[in-house]
Structure 1
Amino acid sequence: MKTVFSPLHAGHAGNFELISGAIVPAFEKPSRAEFIKARVESEKLGPILPPATHDLAAARQVHTSEFIDFLPTVWPLWEASGRTGSALPFTWPTRGLRGDVRPQSIDALLGFYSFDGGASFVKGTWEAIKSSYDVALTAAALVKGGEISAFALCRPPGHHAGAAFMGGYCYINNAAVAAQWFRDQGARRVSILDVDYHHGNGTQEIFYSRGDVQVLNLHGDPMTEYPFFLGHADERGAGAGEGFNVNYPMPFGTTWDAWNASLEDACAKLAAYAPEVVVVSLGVDTFEKDPISRFKLKTADYPKIGRRIAKLGLPTLFVMEGGYAVEEVGINAVGVLTGFEDR
């Protein structure tokens, strides 16, 4: 399996986030990608390729142009306002407030285009976002070109980013971009299988009213787990998308047997939908030692995930999402990929 990776991800470093009542160094950090890359190399998964450079047209297919135009301006506007450190929002439009008028202040704009305090910016953030997007599209092109699978080692991740909002360490929704790109290249149906611990709220929001991209999410129950405000089992899609959004919320402490039962059901629904390509939002924060997650999967479980996805017999693009037990993140992520290869 070929991996696509960009060293430009490392420019997104030293930033902070607001979580659990404190502003702390972000859990999403450069070492995550480096551990995964090192494991790809040590396991001899296959060649590691640099991404091609793409324009932002594909991003504008799933995000609003205003949002995409905003992202590269954040750090220059932050610096122009006289600030250093992490650019973070501190106020958001919510119920009873106006969200239809785009403000001018960088502080207000950060809140206008986000849903939490987890997508901060430093000087190198935009370059990292753009490189992650380039990685996803380059890997998608490998699958379109005939590879049975490819791994987009994206950093920062993407599945929490919606059409006009960032959050949860995510800025451009790489999996959604890739899925739409496959559609634009002629695929009639595409499935996104999100196995990250946290619900892919951005991906759901983007495709919720569409029937040409199926979205299946396995995740922590939003009644008690971030991102809280999407991911319930009764969210089935709307209009043309009715029935094509499927959520599998699970409680704290979920172990392999229960999690795997959800995976089996999701794979059955995916097979019935009969997509031409599968995009896997590959999060491994389901791991029992993950510092910000509450499932109990073990390292030995991850190759099983890859083998089950391989049984679908479909061209598959793996897009890296979450996983924060840094030393194990490479072992577990690559475990999924080697399991897929062992099919």
Structure 2
Amino acid sequence: MLKQIRLVLLPFSWLYACILTLRNKLYDWGWKKSYQSEVYTLCVGNLSMGGTGKSPAIEYLIKKLHKNYKIASLSRGYKRKSKGYKEVLLNSNVEEVGDEPFQFKRKFPEIKVAVDENRAHGIKQLTQQHDLKCILLDDAFQHRRVQPHFSILLTVYNNLYANDFVLPAGNLREPSWGAHRADVILVTKCPLNLSIEKQRQIKKQLQLKKYQKLFFAGIDYSENVVSGSQKLDFSAFNRFTLVTGIANPKPLTEYLDASAKTYQHLKFPDHHHFNTNEIEKLKKEKLILTTEKDYVRLKDFLSEDQLFYLPIEMKLLKHEDKFENLILNSIQRHYEH
């Protein structure tokens, strides 16, 4: 049935792809102008709709870079209830700045975090107000009005952009050949025991350009669940309600199933703002497990003894030093010139 629906939608995808290709060509040819700041900008994005692991990737980069450079993170603040430029503070309202930016600030209070749907304006505001050496552009791969100095393109292990279609027949926000703008292709949510042979197969499917580097990463789950200052052993955490408002909860549910957990799953749309009725229903649940992104939206309404999240980290399968040095060397070359 799904295949038949896609066939019906394919003409609309081709039309949409043509429009997007023309738009990108106008930027490539210089007919539409892109802004590039003097401060180094590193873009993390994808070609598909959500769920590729951008937040863990941004956090991974923050950990690697903030020890050496004064850095900031700039997002659009998807589904926030505000407009324009806003700097994210520890006392910010999560609905006004967005859940992911607030999560970044909460975990890394020493860095600057801001939101602006106009990335060029956001970069200018950040660089005018703060002495920075690197700005991480969250989900800005299609934002062609900004020309980043370095781009990392994420694609999910079991849903590579090379095997997908443009909207509405598929999930791509632009044709797969847009990947040529990336310096690095990072395949996310891989099995941690991914074989070398499978990595070679994926590399062949992606048809990388000579200047592009390929890396593989998986999800590393914490041994504890967390709520405020509390930490509980995950192995003893069982019989709970799982609450998710993320694009793709499947990796999490698969991990819980593999860990033999007993739970019911309440699934909400990505970046969901929980209304009063939903909050009241959740208050009746004895024990809730959620994602860190959902936790920052729910923590003010539910008790610390009731609501917990399972921390995750992005873990490169190999060549972590090579990945880190590639970025550090790129930043160094930028400022040497």
TM-score under structure 2 normalisation? 0.30
Larger radius of gyration: 2
TM-score under structure 1 normalisation? 0.30
Higher strand content, 1 or 2: 2
